[in-house]
Amino acid sequence: MPLITPLSADHDLETKELAEFFNETLGFCPNSVLTMQRRPAISKAFINLNKAVMANEGRVTSALKRMIAWVSSNATGCRYCQAHAIRAAERYGAEQEQLDNIWEYRTHSAFSEAERAALDFSLAASQVPNAVDETIQKRLHKHWNEGEIVEMLGVISLFGYLNRWNDSMGTTLENDAIESGNQFLGKHGFEVGKHV
């Protein structure tokens, strides 16, 4: 049972209008946003930040951003965000082979060295204490420019917020997200956990 019950999507009309962004991303408005709207300034600020972070400004594709989010959410253990991130990666065109082998991104041939550097950055930046070191920095700068690295860290930071929000709230995972989690992460023991 969630800590706070999500409100109806019609509770705050400004949030509802902004949240249409998630219909493209996920196919539904997330329960996390429906909970945030108890304080509409938070839900609106979050949606606008999400839109800014996920905008494509360079070579960091929408699919890669969602895989970065998955690695970050996996590192912190948030099942809610893992399911959302893998679902969004699929919806934004991640290759089937990458989706099926996301756990093996470091060694699987479906991932380029540039993608591996980005995903290793996500893993290191999501750990406590932070594990971004000189080796990670050098690999990033070999494949990505500074603006692209900012985009990546924006995703990691956004999901740091979401991981804490959803795991603390015990946000109920939506059926479509459960389906995506089972499909792409199930072979590695994905479970809904507290997000029932």
Q: In whole angstroms, what is the distance from residue 130 CA to residue 133 CA? A: 9
What backbone phi and psi angles, to 5 degrees, belong to 188? -110, 15
24-48: pLDDT as tens digits = 999 999 999 999 999 999 999 999 9
Identify residue 80 by its one-letter amino acid code: Y
**Which pTM value belongs to this model?**
0.96
145-165: pLDDT as tens digits = 999 999 999 999 999 999 999
Per-residue pLDDT at 58: 86
- Reference 173, options 16, 13, 34; nearest CA is 34
Return the percentage of the chain with pLDDT > 90, whole number.
97
Q: What is the mean pLDDT of residues 95-101?
A: 95
Place of tokens 């989690």: 181
**DSSP characters over 133-154:** -HHHHHHHHHH--HHHHHHHHH
Q: Indicate if the alpha-carbon torsion angle 5, 20, 186, 127 is positive or negative.
A: negative
pLDDT at 13 > cutoff 90: yes
CATH number of the domain at 60-188, out of 1.10.3730.10, 3.30.9.80, 2.102.10.10, 1.20.1290.10?
1.20.1290.10
Share the mean pLDDT of the chain: 96
pLDDT at 169 > cutoff 90: yes
pLDDT at 1 > cutoff 90: no
Q: Are 164 and 70 in contact (CB under 8 A)?
A: no
Domain ranges within the chain, ordered by starting residue:
60-188
Per-residue pLDDT at 14: 95
Using alpha carbons, list the distances in angstroms from residue 133 to 1, 56, 146: 39, 26, 16
Burial class (CB in 10 A: 0-12, 13-18, 19+), 184: buried
- Where are any strands of DSSP class E within 14-71? none
